Amino acid sequence: MLAIGAICLGATAATAKTYCVHTAAELQAALTDAGSSGTASNQDNTVRIAPGTFTTSGAAFSFGSLSGFSLTLEGGYNSACSSQDATPGVSVLDGGNLTQVLSIQSKGDITIRHLTIQNALYNGSAGGGAAIAMNGADPATLAIFDSNVVRNNVDGFASGGLTVFGLGTVHIENNLFTGNSSPAAAAFSTSMNDGSTIYITNNTISANTNTGSNNMITAIGGGGAIGHVSNTVSYGNHGTGAYDFYLSGFEQVDFVHDAYTSITGATAPGSSGNLIGTDPQFVAADNFHLRSTSPLLRAGTLTPAGGLPVVDLEGNPRSVAGFVDIGAYEDTDVIFANGFDPG
Could you report the per-residue pLDDT of 282-293, keeping only the tens digit for each? 999 999 999 999
Task: Between 220 and 1, name the one with better pLDDT.
Answer: 220
Q: How many CB atoms lie within 10 A of CB 149?
A: 22
CA 209, 215, 217, 219 torsion: positive or negative? negative
In a domain, 308, yes or no: yes
Q: Are 326 and 308 in contact (CB under 8 A)?
A: no
Confidence (pTM): 0.93
For residue 40, what pLDDT band results from cuts at 50, 70 and 90?
Answer: very high
Least Cα distance to 113 among 137, 86, 136, 132 occurs for: 86
Least Cα distance to 203 among 329, 293, 33 occurs for: 329
Taking the C-alpha atoms of residue 264 and residue 282, their distance in angstroms, rounded to an integer, is 25
In a domain, 22, yes or no: no
Q: How many CB atoms lie within 10 A of CB 277?
A: 9
pLDDT of 307 strictly over 60? yes
Q: Give the bridge partners for 118, in sequence order.
A: 94, 151
Least Cα distance to 320 among 309, 306, 331 occurs for: 331
pLDDT at 342: 37
Mean pLDDT, the chain, whole residue set: 92
Residues 6+ apart with CB under 8 A from 179: 151, 152, 153, 207, 208
Task: Between 179 and 16, name the one with better pLDDT.
Answer: 179
In a domain, 8, yes or no: no
pLDDT of 312 strictly over 50? yes
For residue 294, count CB atoms less than 10 angstroms from its CB and return exposed for 0-12, middle for 13-18, buried for 19 or more. Answer: buried
In a domain, 77, yes or no: no
How many domains does the structure of the chain reveal? Answer: 1
pLDDT at 6: 38
pLDDT at 333: 80
Residues 6+ apart with CB under 8 A from 10: 1, 2, 17, 18, 20
DSSP reduced 3-state for 215: coil
In this prediction, residues 14-21 reach a mean pLDDT of: 85
For residue 272, what pLDDT band results from cuts at 50, 70 and 90?
Answer: very high
In a domain, 313, yes or no: yes
Percent of the chain whose pLDDT exceeds 70 = 93
In this prediction, residues 158-176 reach a mean pLDDT of: 97
Taking the C-alpha atoms of residue 254 and residue 266, their distance in angstroms, rounded to an integer, is 9
pLDDT at 221: 87
Pairing of strands 91-94, 52-55: parallel
Query: Domain limits at 254?
Result: 99-336
In a domain, 94, yes or no: no
pLDDT of 343 strictly over 80? no
Residue 108's alpha-carbon distances to 22, 36, 49, 67, in angstroms, are: 25, 12, 21, 7
The pair phi, psi for residue 24, each rounded to 5°, is -60, -40
pLDDT of 5 strictly over 60? no
Q: Are 136 and 109 in contact (CB under 8 A)?
A: no
In a domain, 23, yes or no: no
- Give per-residue pLDDT as tens, 21-37: 999 999 999 999 999 99
Least Cα distance to 3 among 100, 11, 180 occurs for: 11
Residue 310's alpha-carbon distances to 243, 255, 315, 319, 328, in angstroms, are: 30, 21, 9, 8, 12
Residues 6+ apart with CB under 8 A from 28: 61, 62
pLDDT of 55 strictly over 50? yes
One-letter amino acid at 59 equals A
In a domain, 66, yes or no: no
For residue 224, what pLDDT band results from cuts at 50, 70 and 90?
Answer: confident
For residue 243, what pLDDT band results from cuts at 50, 70 and 90?
Answer: very high
Least Cα distance to 147 among 317, 315, 307, 296 occurs for: 315
pLDDT at 152: 98
For residue 4, what pLDDT band results from cuts at 50, 70 and 90?
Answer: very low
pLDDT of 12 strictly over 80? no
